[in-house]
């Protein structure tokens, strides 16, 4: 790393954190426009685009932290960064729900394939919780539970692709603009005249910017938090998780402004699926026994928090209640309250 932020003055870390956050925000906002263009022109669908393209690209900062922290032997930071980002992702959706204002977010998502993504996320998280609880055994250098997570993640991508567009809901009282079939707008970095190859190149550039800025964001954030002596587990599940989730914040809010609600929700579900799969990477890089044997009950509680908030949003997608309070659907309000309560509980466990 070109600069040791922990040895540098505090103001250096804060300045790098702020600049990196700005780069990540701008790049993430433009990424949503590019992803919308790619989904429209290729016909692969907004749910699958949110799952694979936005979900993977916006997870690049988490991947960078996972690689660096695991190689350094800091599994608590590596794993809890991933698990903490899952719960925070749904808090982002609650904010996006408030941005809509008139309608609950889960009442205007036209494709029930997002429920499949959420259900598969719960399965992956359940495997992580089981591995932490009962212990793990190494198979070819990686824990058996982590192998099962990797296999299920690949299966989840295949199943989502197969299910894309097979059936849709039509939100009652909503016109085509609200249900995700809005005519594309040439904003947020999106151009209807740019060749597809050019859009792809801009997408790659935005992804690289997110990866590089996300790395510095995470490193400077870790240094700032270390000076407060909060501990690697809590730093990973809160500060670093929030810092590396800034791409999701910008892409989700940009997708909502484009009225691509399905893509916004799939972005979070896709990011969460990929984040859980990255636990396999943390285990593979870590030198020692299976990673799930070393992260302890803090990671188990963070995993259960992810399961709870995911379940709440799936329930909202099924019920499709179009009533709001404080500009949010009941499910978003419940998720936000659960997230804050979970953070308080994790603080007590640090």
What is the chain's mean pLDDT, rounded? 77
Do residues 305 and 340 make contact, with C-beta atoms less than 8 angstroms apart?
no
Write the burial class of residue 101 (CB in 10 Å: 0-12 exposed, 13-18 middle, 19+ buried). exposed
Compute the distance between CA of residue 162 and CA of residue 192 in angstroms, rounded to an integer. 28
More confident residue, 230 or 332: 332
Q: What's the token pair of residue 42?
A: 């290729």
Compute the distance between CA of residue 308 and CA of residue 149 in angstroms, rounded to an integer. 19
pLDDT (tens digit per residue) in 44-98: 655 555 556 666 677 777 787 788 788 878 888 788 888 888 888 888 888 888 8
Q: What are residue 325's DSSP bridge partners?
A: 328
**From the CB of residue 56, how many other CB atoms can be counted at a distance below 10 Å?**
17
What is the pLDDT, as a whole number, of residue 341? 93
Compute the distance between CA of residue 235 and CA of residue 350 in angstroms, rounded to an integer. 9
pLDDT (tens digit per residue) in 241-258: 777 777 777 778 877 877
What is the pLDDT, as a whole number, of residue 155? 92
- What phi and psi, each to the nearest 5 degrees, are found at residue 316? -65, -40
Compute the distance between CA of residue 217 and CA of residue 58 in angstroms, rounded to an integer. 13
Compute the distance between CA of residue 215 and CA of residue 16 in angstroms, rounded to an integer. 11
How would you label 3-25 residue by residue, b for 16+ Cβ within 10 Å and e otherwise? eebeeeeeebbeebbeebbebbb
pLDDT (tens digit per residue) in 19-29: 887 887 787 77
| Domains of the chain, CATH where assigned | 10-349 (1.20.1420.30)
Q: Which of 237, 230, 213, 210 is CA-nearest to residue 69?
A: 237
What is the pLDDT, as a whole number, of residue 147? 96
Compute the distance between CA of residue 6 and CA of residue 259 in angstroms, rounded to an integer. 42
Compute the distance between CA of residue 118 and CA of residue 60 in angstroms, rounded to an integer. 21
């Amino acid at each position: 790393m070109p600069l040791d932020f922990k040895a540098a003055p505090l103001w250096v870390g804060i300045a790098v954190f702020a600049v990196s956050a700005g780069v990540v925000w701008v790049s993430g906002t433009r990424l949503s426009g590019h992803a919308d263009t790619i989904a429209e022109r290729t016909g692969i669908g907004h749910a699958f685009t949110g799952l694979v393209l936005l979900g993977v690209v916006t997870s690049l900062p988490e991947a960078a932290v996972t690689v660096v922290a695991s190689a350094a032997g800091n599994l608590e930071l590596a794993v809890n960064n991933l698990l903490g980002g899952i719960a925070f992702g749904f808090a982002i959706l609650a904010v996006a729900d408030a941005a809509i204002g008139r309608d609950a977010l889960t009442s205007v998502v036209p494709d029930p394939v997002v429920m499949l993504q959420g259900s598969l996320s719960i399965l992956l998280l359940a495997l992580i919780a089981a591995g932490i609880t009962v212990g793990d055994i190494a198979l070819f250098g990686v824990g058996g539970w982590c192998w099962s997570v990797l296999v299920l993640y690949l299966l989840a991508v295949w199943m989502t692709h197969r299910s894309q567009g097979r059936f849709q809901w039509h939100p009652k009282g909503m016109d085509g603009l609200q249900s995700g079939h809005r005519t594309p707008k040439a904003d947020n970095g999106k151009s209807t005249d740019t060749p597809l190859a050019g859009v792809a190149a801009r997408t790659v550039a935005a992804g690289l910017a997110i990866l590089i800025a996300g790395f510095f964001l995470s490193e400077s954030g870790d240094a700032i938090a270390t000076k407060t002596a909060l501990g690697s587990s809590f730093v990973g599940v809160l500060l670093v998780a929030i810092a590396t989730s800034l791409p999701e914040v910008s892409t989700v809010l940009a997708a909502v402004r484009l009225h691509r609600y399905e893509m916004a929700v799939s972005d979070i579900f896709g990011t969460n699926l990929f984040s859980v799969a990255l636990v396999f990477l943390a285990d593979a890089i870590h030198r020692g026994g299976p990673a799930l044997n070393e992260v302890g009950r803090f990671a188990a509680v963070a995993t259960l928090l992810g399961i709870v908030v995911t379940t709440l949003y799936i329930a909202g997608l099924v019920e499709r209640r179009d009533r709001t309070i404080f500009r949010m659907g009941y499910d978003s309000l419940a998720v936000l309250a659960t997230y804050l309560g979970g953070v308080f509980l994790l603080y007590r466990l640090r």
